[in-house]
Amino acid sequence: MGGNQRNDRPTQSRADRSGRLRLVDVVDESSTGANSPRPARIRMSGSQRREQLVDVGRALFAAKGYEAVTVEEIAAEAKVSKPVVYEHFGGKEGLYAVVVDREVNLIIDLMLDSLTPDHPRAMLESCAVAFLTYVEVSTDGFRVLVRDSPPGLVEGSFASTIQSVAERVENILASQFSERGYPKKWAPMYTQMLVGMVVLTGQWWVDVRKPKKEEVAAHLTNLAWNGLSDLDPKPSPGKRGKD
């Protein structure tokens, strides 16, 4: 057929280090004249669009909270129509669930990888650094997790995530209690105290970012460990420790 023919040729797609595909450039080579090519267009595959919507949802949920974000806002930010959001996630609830699930997996992987040092003090410091690293590299994700979850969401909530980590720390702490002659029955309670200390420090540090995370972890470990190293096996209300 005569006239300008349209020839869309996708460039070779490449994967980044995370395994996610980058945007595929599609160049429209048709033109209105010999020296006036039409501007290039960018299209996304289904998986690429899904990743974009997850990124957009994470940022909006972090900034405004689940209840305040609408499907219309998500679609507008992603420059797509509302049906595209429903097609990929079934609605706002589905998108939120995917965001939370990814953040939960990331934080658990980082925290569990940190539970490798043999000495409990080194493990505590490693765990603190790991948590602060998560806060640093996925700040929006952390803000999503610490916000109130939608009603009915238990699995995958921040509380359940931290509880999963605490259960693993509890086993290690219980063995340390046995070795030092302290009652193992108190290990679950002390675990919640230690994990809570790390988490609350992370919530403070996400805004201030000073001092550096390694220094924060060292101070946190100093407080926790020096207290544990001289632990009173039978504390009682009002009882004074060593001056």
Q: Spell out the per-residue pLDDT of the chain, length 243, in tens.
A: 544 454 444 444 334 434 433 333 333 333 344 454 544 435 888 899 999 999 999 999 999 999 999 999 999 999 999 999 999 999 999 999 999 889 888 888 888 788 777 777 888 899 899 999 999 999 999 999 888 667 665 555 677 777 877 887 788 778 878 877 888 888 899 888 888 898 899 999 999 999 999 999 999 988 888 876 776 777 767 665 555
Rounded Cα distance, 74 and 103, in Å: 19
Instruction: For the chain, give every domain's residue range.
Output: 100-228
Rounded Cα distance, 197 and 221, in Å: 10
Q: What is the pLDDT of residue 73?
A: 97
Q: Residue 187 has which token pair?
A: 């290990």
**Does the pTM of the predicted model rise above 0.75?**
no
Best CATH choice for the domain 100-228 from the list 1.10.357.10, 3.30.565.10, 3.40.710.10, 3.40.1650.10: 1.10.357.10
Token look-up 């805004």 returns: 207
Q: What is the pLDDT of residue 190?
A: 86
- Longest CA–CA separation in the chain, Å: 96
DSSP-derived 3-state class of residue 212: coil
Q: Which one, of 154, 47, 64, 52, lies nearest residue 100 by Cα?
A: 154
